[in-house]
Amino acid sequence: MKRESRIEGQRRVGLPSVEKVQQELGRAESIDDFFGKEGIFAKLFAETLEQMLEAELTDQLGYEKYEAKGRNSGNSRNGKTKRNLRTSNGDLEIEVPRDRNGEFQSKVLAKHQTSTNELETKVLALYAKGLSTRDIQTTLEDLYGVEVSPTTISAITDKVWSLVEAWQNRALAAIYPIVYLDALHLKLRRDGKVVNTAVYVVLGVDLEGQRDVLGHWLGDGGEGANFWLSVVSDLQARGVEDIFVACIDGLTGFKEAIQAVFPQTAIQRCVIHQIRQSLKYVGWKDRKAFVDDLKTIYRAPTREAGESALLALGERWGKQYAVAVRSWEANWDDLATMFDFPAAIRRLIYTTNTVEGYHRQLRKVLKTKSSFPTDEAARKLLFLVTQDILRKWTGSIFNWPLILNQLAIRYEDRLSF
């Protein structure tokens, strides 16, 4: 029943028959036979597109080809025009049907459209949703009646690697007022065993208020000042000249690394992460009261008021929960950076929630993967999912003109328009 419904669906939209597809696939002797101007995909796509165009013209004219009621209808078919189309598999020539009155305009193929990425776009879109090569194979067969091997699908996704490298090494803006840095974890096969591996992400906000992911860096177990120095040096090599505020999750060695390359950058430690970390050392029965006292610190109107609240926290809880209190005292300089800014900027930098929101979208796809066989496989998927996310980041940060004015005043000597 499933196969019959698919065949009927192909007939309605003008897709090649299953027999035709199987015949073409049966001629393949190597993976190269699938691609190129004379490849299987090009032939199948050309026939599919031509039949869809014919179906569109029939629908517009209101009668089938050679049907009697088309006579004296006021319009009729008028031959075909050859048209070159650039596809993902090379240049392709198709025949576009015409009507005598010149009124026909296809919705499938725009009038001046000369290129399409029909197959690769479908495969990569499915891959970016976290589907395995087997899942993609099944989906393509169910929807389009095309049986594509997992090896072929892998070959298509492998073409993405050059784009991954180009993206990771692309030129960046000279100035990023705010940069967020955080990590998420995935399982990666290395040296014959699956290990939990950190992927470090730098997300920047440029002078237009636009968010952008500046890159992904896979950890190798040696994270620290040297690792972060290589990341920050990479940003500098790609054109970054200044960062005003770096928002971090207390990552070891990052503060030292960023200030070695960008000595004027202010460091803001994520308050939310600090709260979570300190609560590990507080008993359940006292957590609500402890959190209420913490709120008086990070919600204080000024640094001085925050410091007074921190002293009060120590007086109340210092003996009972010394480790929790000391963690706030030890990190106070980096936690209090936000008090140097107006409320609009303070709301942006006191937490790394901006990059964590991005991570949540990544995890929706990554959770479908039990593990990745190689670093390259992980980076390919991260790249494709990121491109899908970035397409949705069309607007600037809320109230950005006000924030930019405040930044221009504070960083007058480092910012020029």
Domain spans of the chain?
2-159, 165-410
Write down the mean pLDDT value for the chain. Answer: 82
Rounded to an integer, the average pLDDT of 7-24 is 46
CA atoms of 392 and 289, how far apart (whole Å) = 40
pLDDT higher than threshold 60 for residue 28: no
pLDDT band at 386 (very low <50, low <70, confident <90, very high): very high
Cα separation, 53 vs 236, in Å, equals 51
Instruction: Provide the pLDDT confidence category of residue 206 given band limits of 50, 70 and 90.
Output: very high
% helix, strand, coil for the chain, step of 5: 50, 15, 30
Q: Is the pLDDT of residue 379 over 70?
A: yes
Tokens of 267: 């460091």
- Orientation of helix 133-144 relative to helix 118-128, angle to 10°: 130
Structure tokens at 208: 């237009």
Find the helix or strand (DSSP H, E) in which 363 lies.
Answer: helix 353-366
* Predicted pLDDT of residue 221: 63
Whether residue 216 contacts residue 200, with contact meaning beta carbons closer than 8 Å, is answered with: yes
| Pure H helices in 27-132 | 40-61, 118-128
Tokens 């067969």 identify what position? 141
The confidence score (pLDDT) of residue 80 equals: 87
Task: Give the three-class secondary structure for 146.
Answer: coil
Give pTM, 2 decimals.
Answer: 0.69
What is the per-residue pLDDT across 97-138, written as a single tens digit (0 to 9) for each? Answer: 888 888 887 765 665 555 455 556 677 777 777 777 777 877
Give the span between the Cα atoms of 276 and 252, in whole angstroms.
17
Residue 388: name the closest of 355, 364, 354, 356 by CA: 364
272 close to 288: Cβ distance less than 8 angstroms = no
**Token duo for residue 55:** 């179906």
Q: What is the DSSP letter of 331?
A: T
pLDDT for 30 beyond 60: no
